[in-house]
Chain A
Amino acid sequence: SQTIHQWPATLVQPVGSPLSLECTVEGTSNPNLYWYRQAAGRGLQLLFYSVGIGQISSEVPQNLSASRPQDRQFILSSKKLLLSDSGFYLCAWSRGLQAKNIQYFGAGTRLSVL
């Protein structure tokens, strides 16, 4: 069966510090991968998605970036965090259009920027 791992579960970072969140998927190959951000009490905002190694689509212009160095690894980064970067970051995977884009989410990382 497939599993998705995200870490860390919680993170407290000062403004201006760098960020690296990692997501890995097990039990499948060539998944589509997604990064979402959810502000407190709000909806799911798609940040980046990737349909293959080195292929990243950015949905929202901001100080975040994403990379996919390996088939089942997706990394969200920032060089300098802003207060507005606080939120719940969720990674998700899918088998793409052939599986109707059904997405499965990781447990998430709760980021507080102080």
Chain B
Amino acid sequence: QQPVQSPQAVILREGEDAVINCSSSKALYSVHWYRQKHGEAPVFLMILLKGGEQKGHEKISASFNEKKQQSSLYLTASQLSYSGTYFCGTDTGTASKLTFGTGTRLQVTL
């Protein structure tokens, strides 16, 4: 079953913050985050392993609550370059594949 992301879409002004959530109904080994710009391929941002790990990538960070099977992506002081669609990918650790979420479209404006 596909992970559910929220919100579906968000519009920010440059410099504002945003949070994107990813929720799964299955026990997870890890959560991956990818960003896809319009017409391009998804690009890997970061991975969160079970254990409540929190990681960061410049002004983008994420957390993983393995008890709730939820992950959140935090975008701080957003930049125009952050625009795109963000996908979480969940890994149950039982097969060599990811199941991607429904996606969150982020638009950063001036």
B contact residues around A90 at 8 Å (CB) = 41-42
Number of A-B residue pairs with CB-CB distance less than 8 Å in the complex they form: 55
Q: Which of B62-70, B74-82, B91-99 contacts A (4 or more CB under 8 A)?
A: B91-99
B contact residues around A43 at 8 Å (CB) = 2, 87, 100-103
- State A104–B103 Cα separation when bound (angstroms): 18
Which A residue's beta carbon lies closest to that of B42? A105
In the assembled complex, A102 has its CB within 8 A of some CB on chain B? yes
In the assembled complex, A19 has its CB within 8 A of some CB on chain B? no
In the assembled complex, B89 has its CB within 8 A of some CB on chain A? yes
A contact residues around B18 at 8 Å (CB) = none
Q: Are A103 and B44 in contact (CB under 8 A)?
A: yes
In the assembled complex, B49 has its CB within 8 A of some CB on chain A? yes
Closest chain-A Cβ to B32's Cβ sits at a distance in Å of: 7
From B30, B87, B96, A49 is in contact (CB under 8 Å) with B96
Q: Are A101 and B44 in contact (CB under 8 A)?
A: no
Q: Are A102 and B32 in contact (CB under 8 A)?
A: yes
B contact residues around A105 at 8 Å (CB) = 41-43
- State A10–B89 Cα separation when bound (angstroms): 26
In the assembled complex, A24 has its CB within 8 A of some CB on chain B? no
Known pairs A43-B87, A44-B87, A94-B96; A101 contacts B30 (CB<8 A): yes
Most B CB contacts (10 A, CB to CB) among A42, A51, A102 go to: A102
The 8 A CB mask of B1-13 against A (1 = contact, 0 = none) is: 0100000000000
The 8 A CB mask of A35-62 against B (1 = contact, 0 = none) is: 0100000111010010100000101000
Known pairs A43-B102, A46-B97, A102-B32; A107 contacts B44 (CB<8 A): no
Q: Are A96 and B102 in contact (CB under 8 A)?
A: no
- State A97–B2 Cα separation when bound (angstroms): 20
In the assembled complex, B58 has its CB within 8 A of some CB on chain A? no
